[in-house]
Amino acid sequence: MIEYEIEYFLDKKIIDYPESINFMEKKIEDIHKNRCKEFIWFLEHDNIYTAGTSSKPKDLLNKNKFKVYKTSRGGQYTYHGPGQRIVYLMLNLRKKGYDIRKFISLIEKWIINSFEDIGVNAVTDKNHIGIWIKDQNDLKKISSIGLRVRKGITFHGISINLNPNLDNFKGINPCGNDPKDVTSLEEIGLKNKIKKFDQVLLKNFSTVFDVTLKSKKTLK
């Protein structure tokens, strides 16, 4: 059986948002033309808001709080900033025979299984995309999913709230929801699990998508 290998890079820098978009645009073109392997990028952004293709002006509550970037990913407004793990997924859906619904269901399984490994009962919600945690009788969002597919190659990806400043969500209605309906690992008392969570994500990605992951020493 031929091993299916994907490369990944754990970035320790805060990455400028336009820089990340330029990188992904070039990378997915290279993947499409078989010039490089599929790629997963772990990173953080500085404090920004991004507006997806379904964003509505009414959901930008404070346009002066942070810089706002219009973006090609699906979804509405979201916040990115330090303490939030971003994982950009540059993957060839056609090679695995996935349609977008199958791919999103696998992403959800990947994130939920990763949370389960650290003792968190995370769930999906049929009315809202993303991953949620039960808070008494309510659901609070801990992870967002926003993707774009071009020529069968995905880009953009997921965000997971590890320990960001949750007050920074108050400048928007994140994904059309109330800003108070957002949580993080730190808020639910699991700050001690953050340091090793990247390794948990890597392990579960490999299992759920049935691939081998190879670490890169540099982004290029």
Active site residues: 175
Please give the Cα distance from 149 to 184 (Å, whole number). 28
Please give the Cα distance from 91 to 203 (Å, whole number). 17
- How is 146-206 classified by DSSP, letter by letter? EEEEETTEEEEEEEEESS--GGGGGGB-GGGS-GGGB--TTTTT-GGGSTTHHHHHHHHHH
- Could you tell me the maximum CA-CA distance found in the chain, to the nearest angstrom? 54
